[in-house]
Amino acid sequence: MSAFQTNHSVSRLWIKQPLACFTANELDASAGIVIENQRIVEVLAQGQEPSSPVDEVFDAKNLVVLPGLINTHHHFYQTLTRAWAPVVNVPLFPWLQNLYPVWARLTPEALSLATQVAMAELLLSGCTTAADHHYLFPTGMEDAIDVQVEVVRQLGMRAMLTRGSMSLGEDEGGLPPRHTVQDGDTILVDSQRLIRQYHEREEGAQIQIALAPCSPFSVTRDIMIDSAKLAEQEDVRLHTHLAETLDEEAFCLKMFGLRTVDYLDSVGWLSDRTWLAHGIHFNDDEIRRLGQAGTGICHCPVSNMRLASGICPTLDLIEAGAPLGLGVDGSASNDASNLMYEARQALYLQRLKYGAERITPKTVLGWATKGSASVLGRNDIGDIAPGKQADLAFFSLDELRFSGSHDPISALLLCGADQAEHVMVAGQWRVKHRQILGLDINELIAKHSACAKGLINAR
């Protein structure tokens, strides 16, 4: 019997005998997974059956099961500026300088639509948890994070919403135009409000808040220092861009007289509370220091290739002790919000650096699941084990692209899986037969497309 025929009163569900199951640990789940309410309670090896009766059995014999994928870096609002001609062929700094004036025209409605599109696209790719880095708060957008909270609740995903900031305008040597920055007091007061209003600390948290000054070239030293102090006081995480490009390295040397990791250390950020987006241009000593501190790194392969930024030294960072996960980055430098596609690109890009033997499909799927959970400081999601949250992604191999494939788990990346058949978050079905429950995708596309055109054409 299909689990889709039951209602929410079912408390014990057996996901029975999947075609294959990647648990992101050493557990054998070939006979399936038992879910009770929102948690995994049993992982069954070949020949085993549930220890007590179940209310429902879901036949997974034609499905590959993964832990829900976890995206550790995004800019949801950028879905409104995908493939914009003036920035298609430029590197990071001119890319930003062209886009800042467009992004400054954001409205709450535009952000809501952009967030819905980004999260829906992620969910359809098998992603159940997403971190977003929102740092634009022009006039009228003071409640941007509140807008995103409502979308997260609507779609039923988990999210780490980071209260970003920009406080160093171009008139002070920074990159963003003056009308896109905020003063330090405004940033800190709103950051504390958001933490106290929305941050959930319990196991299975749906919404969490982190503090995220945008980058060394867009914030002052003071806001970096004060954000670190507030994060420690409120026990939340810290996030920023770092070492993405050589231009950024040159900026830090010129502005602060320090390389990027020295700068990070000088403002109190070199710790296991911090995770960094990109993390490409580190020397051996910096990698060692990041590993010793337990500072997390989000690898964003597609964005790094799109902007020609470089290749993240993933294995060196992991061997040094730094947690490592994956992120799709913003949809104006990817330009997709698809975490399975991101994992496939990570596989191939990292093989160029480390070779085929060391970068396997299971290695990269581990980064997209358990590794990403570690980057976000969570141990209740990211792998399939008793006690973990029942966040699962189910993939069918019935498409033409998979015909002739033999290893189901490897086939997901090598043959280019890009959409999950079903997705579950906290034991609740959120995607069934490739459709998001309760969301009219066609209506969303129409509204979002119209909004995107209006944003670009407004003057």
Mean pLDDT of 296-315: 97
Q: How confident is the model at residue 440 (pLDDT cuts 50, 70, 90)?
A: very high
Q: Where in the chain is the domain with CATH 2.30.40.10?
A: 3-68+381-436
Q: What distances in angstroms separate CA 110 from CA 104, 245, 363, 417, one per listed residue?
A: 12, 29, 37, 30
Q: How confident is the model at residue 174 (pLDDT cuts 50, 70, 90)?
A: confident
> Quick one: tokens of 430?
């959120």
3 pLDDT exceeds 70?
no
Indicate the class that CATH gives domain 3-68+381-436.
mainly beta
445 pLDDT exceeds 50?
yes
Per-residue confidence (pLDDT) for residue 459, from 0 to 100: 62
Per-residue confidence (pLDDT) for residue 7, from 0 to 100: 39
Mean pLDDT of 103-125: 97
Q: How confident is the model at residue 255 (pLDDT cuts 50, 70, 90)?
A: very high
Q: Where in the chain is the domain with CATH 3.20.20.140?
A: 69-375
pLDDT tens for each residue of 180-229:
889 999 999 999 999 999 999 999 999 999 999 999 889 999 999 999 99
286 pLDDT exceeds 50?
yes
Per-residue confidence (pLDDT) for residue 4, from 0 to 100: 39
10 pLDDT exceeds 70?
no
- What are the residues whose beta carbons fall under 8 Å from the beta carbon of 11, sequence distance 6 or more? 36, 37, 55
Answer whether CATH 3.30.1300.30 is correct for domain 69-375: no
Per-residue confidence (pLDDT) for residue 178, from 0 to 100: 79
249 pLDDT exceeds 80?
yes
pLDDT tens for each residue of 41-99:
999 999 999 999 999 999 999 999 999 999 999 999 999 999 999 999 999 999 999 99
* C-alpha to C-alpha distance for 72 and 122, rounded to whole angstroms: 12
Q: What distances in angstroms separate CA 341 from CA 62, 148, 235, 334, one per listed residue?
A: 21, 24, 33, 10
The gap between the terminal CA atoms of the chain, to the nearest Å, is: 57
457 pLDDT exceeds 50?
yes
Per-residue confidence (pLDDT) for residue 5, from 0 to 100: 39
Per-residue confidence (pLDDT) for residue 173, from 0 to 100: 82
458 pLDDT exceeds 90?
no
C-beta of residue 267 within 8 angstroms of C-beta of residue 228: yes
Per-residue confidence (pLDDT) for residue 170, from 0 to 100: 83
pLDDT tens for each residue of 340-394:
999 999 999 999 999 999 999 999 999 999 999 999 999 999 999 999 999 999 9
C-beta of residue 114 within 8 angstroms of C-beta of residue 79: yes
